[in-house]
Amino acid sequence: MTTDTSAAAPAAAPGAPAVDLFSQEFAADPFPVHDRLRRSAPVHHDPVTRLWLVSRDEDIRQVLREPSTYRNDNALGSVLPLRLPALRILDRAGFKTLPPALFNNSGDTHPVLRGPVLKLFGAQRVRAALPMIERVTHEELDLMAAGLDATGRHDFARGPARTIPVRVMLEMLGVPEAARADIATIADWTDAFITLFWGRTDKDEQRRLAQLVGEFYIWLCDLAARPDAPDDSLLGALARVRMPDGSPVPPEVAVAVCSNLMVAGHVTTSQMISTAAYRALEHTGRWRALGREPGLAEAWTEETLRREPSLTAWRRVTSRPVTLGGVDLPEGAELLLLFTAAGTDPEAFEEPERICPMREGGRAHLGFGLGRHRCPGAELARAEGRVVLAAASERFPDLRLATEERPPFLELVSFRAPTRLEVEHAPRPAEPRRSPPQ
């Protein structure tokens, strides 16, 4: 899976900032670079990835509203070419490329496949799933409490923020108990998937990641081949779908749909929860308020999605010559839509750098995309965010960051969140000593 483009590499715009999309410096604090891009080169060619970086909210919305001009066929290809050893490992697992399904499909099969997914993650299904989400959350918070009691510290990003979305997604997809892999293993698989295809890794690391991705693909193939898929599960729904030519959904397409949803349902939700928790924990009062003030956890989740979405950027490719942001692009130009830059665009949001949970029009951001390819699991992610943040704050009101050092962030092109979030109980103030009775 490699990225190719027919557009010739142009010279950098005068005054355009140098951008290293894979650096820790950029991952930890992308906002200054985004600001410079919006002001000096809102449609900027990156020579490393050969992608056109689109940073203004207005331009990104234009792209998302015109899916026939800006297609998503390139969305799931590897950002940088994979080396031969990794490709061989993937080939042995039977994984060559994902066919068009949800996130890389601009053809006539897209609405056919998207239909059952929208029903699966519709508002009514999400409301019905709330008791399950709450149960899973409290079970994982019990494990966190045990960890805090045993060692005094706990990694929130590797703990509840990571495991809850996996468990919820397995329930929502209707995966039979007998077919479920270990939760930590599934999380490792999906993390490996995004790192292999959206990261900058050396040959040895690519081999390790490819092995995990191959295991993930084999598990998905076995899952799709099971004859006992419940009627109300995703695979049960896909079995009833007919493609535009009247044929059933091919097995490899069903696998691709499941892959899209497992990766997105775990990775982006986990990262959203980790980032939201981190920003709240930076100030003790903020964290404590999430469990006490009705509606605040929901509003805090929404602001996180605007200012620091876990899906930081997504790709498109032009189907014809077009002008975007004053820049002429040829057919086949590959774009990277910088959603984080759009969410902090001062032309779109007042005081965009400020976290303002009660912001007017708080949902008018691009954290879930826009238009035909808007994230079908948006309401489920929102529900998980508000349930987990409120429950964790209520259960651990005196939680604090265990270190003043900034946590490490993912160094991937399209995903961003703290990879570790060490927390501990804040020491309670000593009670004043009482004078003995006279």
pLDDT in tens, 306-363: 999 999 999 999 999 999 999 999 999 999 999 999 999 999 999 999 999 988 888 8
Q: Do residues 134 and 387 touch, judged by C-beta distance below 8 A? A: yes
**In the predicted structure, residue 14 carries a pLDDT above the cut 70:** no
* Torsion of Cα atoms, 115 then 117 then 121 then 123, to 10°: 0
Q: Any idea where the domains of the chain sit in the sequence?
A: 24-425
Q: How far is CA 389 from CA 194, 349, 396, 410, in A?
A: 25, 25, 10, 21
- Taking only the tens place, the pLDDT of each residue in 52-104 is 999 999 999 999 999 999 999 999 999 999 999 999 999 999 998 889 999 99
Q: Is residue 380 over pLDDT 90?
A: yes
Average pLDDT of the segment spanning 16-28: 89
pLDDT digits (tens, 9 = 90+) for 283-294: 888 999 999 999
- Reported as a single tens digit per residue, the pLDDT across 415-425 is 999 999 999 99
Measured distance CA(144)–CA(70) in Å, rounded? 44
The phi, psi pair for 44, rounded to 5°, reads -120, 130
- Tokens 């992610």 correspond to 381
Q: What is the C-alpha to C-alpha distance for residues 140 and 164, in angstroms, rounded to an integer?
A: 7
pLDDT at 3: 42
pLDDT band at 435; cut points 50, 70, 90: low
CA-angle at 196, arms to 193 and 199, nearest 5°: 120
Whether pLDDT at 434 is above 80: no
Report percent pLDDT > 90 for the chain: 87
The widest CA-to-CA distance across the chain, in whole angstroms, is 94
Average model confidence (pLDDT) across the chain = 92
Structure tokens given for 425: 């109980």
Rounded distance between C-alpha atoms, residue 70 and residue 332, angstroms = 9
- For tokens 């959603």, the residue is 339
What pLDDT, on the 0 to 100 scale, is given for residue 215?
97
Residue 430: the pLDDT is 53
- 213, 255 in Cβ contact below 8 A? no
Model confidence over 236-269: pLDDT tens digits?
999 999 999 999 999 999 999 999 999 999 999 9
C-alpha to C-alpha distance for 19 and 30, rounded to whole angstroms: 10
Q: Which pLDDT does position 86 carry in this prediction?
A: 97
- The confidence band for 198, taking pLDDT boundaries of 50, 70 and 90, is very high
For the segment 177-200, the average pLDDT, to the nearest whole number, is: 95
The CATH number assigned to the domain with range 24-425 reads 1.10.630.10
pLDDT band at 178 (very low <50, low <70, confident <90, very high): confident
**What's the pLDDT band for 12 if we cut at 50, 70, 90?**
low
Residue 437 has pLDDT above 80, yes or no: no
Res 229: pLDDT: 84
Q: How far apart are CA 123 and CA 377, in angstroms?
A: 10
- pLDDT value for 5: 41
